[in-house]
């Protein structure tokens, strides 16, 4: 009897996997090098490698790095890729937050989605979790289940065939543990604003 609000993304894990491959990293080295270097103030990565759904609804969107300098390293490029994906997620979350504010008629709380849950193998690195928390301005809780998608599908199937009822979901749902809280970072906020501006500038070029 309610609504499910979702920011469906095309280019999260697939964009990071592409960037990792282009830079010839294994995952352990990608995390190590990316978070061992300070982020560049000018380098940005648009992760829209196959168009994007939320929040742009732009199948022609494309991505890549812009603003690279001779002194940038593989680690700097990989760090920009992580930030670009985090920024894309923030753009989708901002759309969800604005929708909630419009529905509630209350714009006083900028953190109208103050907590988020993480699931999947790509969400286990503590440095990546912290970047996500800082970018999304939300407390992050990791779901204590290695196969959350399969478990969720099984729960939906059980509901559909009448094996379980909606009232059973609270017991069936896996627990979650808080893993990161957001920190104020003015430089990160500025890079996010540059990211949004960059997408707006190149959008018509790809179209």
The list of the chain residues with pLDDT below 50 reads: 108
Global confidence as pTM:
0.89
Q: Would 55 be classed as within a structural domain?
A: yes
95-104 residue pLDDT tens: 999 886 666 6
Q: Would 183 be classed as within a structural domain?
A: yes
Query: At 143, which CATH number?
Result: 3.30.420.40
Q: Would 3 be classed as within a structural domain?
A: no
Q: Would 7 be classed as within a structural domain?
A: no
Q: Would 78 be classed as within a structural domain?
A: yes
At 152 the pLDDT is 87
Q: Would 59 be classed as within a structural domain?
A: yes
176-198 residue pLDDT tens: 999 999 999 999 999 999 999 99
At 85 the pLDDT is 97
User: What does residue 43 show for φ and ψ, rounded to 5 degrees?
Assistant: -80, 130
User: What does residue 50 show for φ and ψ, rounded to 5 degrees?
Assistant: -140, 45
Q: Would 159 be classed as within a structural domain?
A: yes
Please tell me the total number of residues recorded for the chain in this structure. Answer: 207
- Dist. CA 14–CA 136, nearest whole Å: 20
Q: Are strands 64-66 and 176-180 parallel, antiparallel or unpaired?
A: unpaired
Biggest CA–CA distance in the chain, Å, is 61
| Domain count within the chain | 1
At 147 the pLDDT is 83
Q: Would 64 be classed as within a structural domain?
A: yes
At 108 the pLDDT is 45
Q: Check residue 24 and give left, alpha or beta (phi > 0: left; psi -120 to 50: alpha).
A: left
- Dist. CA 23–CA 83, nearest whole Å: 16
Strand blocks (E) in 52-157? 64-66, 115-118, 139-143
- Dist. CA 164–CA 162, nearest whole Å: 5
Mapped onto helix, strand or coil, the DSSP state of residue 16 is helix
* Structural domain span for residue 75: 13-206
At 75 the pLDDT is 98
3-state secondary structure the chain: CCCCCCCCCCCCHHHHHHHHHHCCCCHHHHHHHHCCCCCCCCCEEECCECEECCCCCECCCCCEEECCCCCCCHHHHHHHHHHHHHHHHHHHHHHHHHHHHHHHCCCCCCCCCCEEEECCHHHCCHHHHHHHHHHHCCEEEEECCCCHHHHHHHHHHHHHCCCCCHHHHHHHCCCEEEEECCCCCHHHHHHHHHHHHHHHHHHHHHC
At 110 the pLDDT is 53
């Amino acid at each position: 009897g309610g609504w499910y609000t979702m920011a469906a993304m095309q280019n999260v894990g697939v964009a990071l996997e592409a960037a990792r491959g282009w830079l010839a990293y294994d995952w352990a080295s990608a995390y190590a090098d990316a978070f061992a270097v300070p982020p560049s103030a000018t380098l940005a990565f648009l992760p829209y490698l196959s168009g994007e759904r939320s929040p742009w609804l732009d199948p022609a969107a494309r991505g890549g790095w812009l603003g690279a300098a001779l002194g940038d390293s593989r680690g700097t490029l990989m760090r920009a890729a992580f930030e670009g994906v985090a920024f894309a997620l923030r753009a989708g979350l901002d759309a969800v937050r604005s929708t909630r504010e419009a529905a509630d008629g209350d714009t006083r709380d900028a953190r109208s989605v103050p907590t988020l849950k993480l699931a999947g193998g790509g969400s286990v690195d503590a440095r990546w979790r912290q970047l996500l928390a800082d970018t999304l301005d939300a407390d992050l809780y990791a779901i204590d289940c290695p196969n959350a998608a399969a478990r969720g599908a099984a729960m939906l199937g059980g509901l559909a065939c009448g094996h379980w009822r909606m009232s059973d979901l609270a017991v069936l749902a896996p627990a979650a543990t808080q893993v990161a809280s957001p920190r104020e970072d003015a430089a990160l906020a500025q890079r996010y604003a540059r990211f949004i501006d960059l997408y707006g500038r190149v959008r018509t070029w790809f179209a």
